A and B are shown apart, each in its own frame.
Chain A
């Protein structure tokens, strides 16, 4: 919607169907931002250990860890965020132990109206408001839950009529509704389900919330092996006559190499078609950023760096 470069904003939510590489993309965006001299925080909402693995640290918690120069990483934790919230806004002097509240808090946080969501989004907006960081990148909820997360302040605003919480939702909404400050990035791999969910999510966010859809990232895009002409030639080389000749010249194992190529080509075609569906299904004014499949050895800092390099080419 705005022409504002993605990384010039203050708060970026990275969402997408599970398995599409949200964490890697979030980490890479944060890495790129830090490289460009901006003090950056990346926060994993759903403490699964994926963000820690991406930066190859044993663990992350509510207190940010500096994983690279200017790049800080943390995980959201409902109890810690509640404690901080009470300390900052309600000014209860002694909440060192929440007592029985802590014991049952997890369930309440999941089942009771919006507690977990509001604490999470509140913490993020708080960091943005206080300008502790130039950019906060959120490794956010998956497509099924992200709307509930970003919509939490509005929902609470309508539900709760007075009280501290309500007052606070107002400044949160100011940040979230401002496209110059907040944006949503949706990640999809070129597969049917992620693409369907991405198209639906973009539509839902645009029609039911005020949050700006800043970009869609097509992740792990397979290279198209051949041009159409070359593809036809490859078919000719896969004919039984040609295969027999190859085996005669180079040995039986060359058949495996050829079959691997055929499989890769087939997958590449499926992916290319999915990508077309994605481009057609997402409004034309939403930038579509392509990140290629990385054939790397592991999924840690090296992977994050390579994805950041790929994003550097397509992100202003």
Chain B
């Protein structure tokens, strides 16, 4: 690959944009539990608040809280909110999360940009210990493998992982060689799942059988606009709500993943004109194939998989 036209512009973060729309489409199905606009949304909006904007516009959610750890510059964040219904909470997630009211059904998306560590696992624990059934919990972490060498010496990736998350959280069968490429995402998924199961087990110990809370994995996204990222999440629900979960029919969505196998968001490199030409042929009829001369088949296939969520970027003089 030589020409720069074949590369993605990281500044636009197209994979993230696709993921956001996919998650929004999945969240919509929560209306089986209660009216979606009555859900609360908790996220880490930073200065762009793109998830907040999307969920408010698409789903009508108004009860929104953005957690921001930046201690200074409160006013700047406040003034950048796209809609007035977004409440700001300024402090670390670990401090804010336990202070929130948890008797409201919520969509919680903790979109971190750092690697998995003890603090993030603690946040996972707080949510699992408190969120009410029918809540959706999603977490994004940076799963880029450590570079192989540091100042000439080979890096012990397993040791680094143990230091970050704690010895007792890393399953015994994980080896350094598992922490290459997308392997880190896989191991992170295991560690996060184990943490959730452990916390839920403790929470459930005192609950009657029908009220015990389970976690149903729905999202296992791997994507890389720059660094490799993992987005993992799903629904917290009680045994009593099993039928509601079935009605949501999450598994009808092509990007939902309930197990170890991830969904890789792969962004094709296409010009606007090429996108228009492909769109004209979509959705495909049975037996047909998409055609577009001079464009690699791989890119056509990638586009077909995600065309409904593909962002349209235009330059605008605003």
A associates with B: no
- Residues of B bordering A, CB below 8 Å: none
- Residues of A bordering B, CB below 8 Å: none
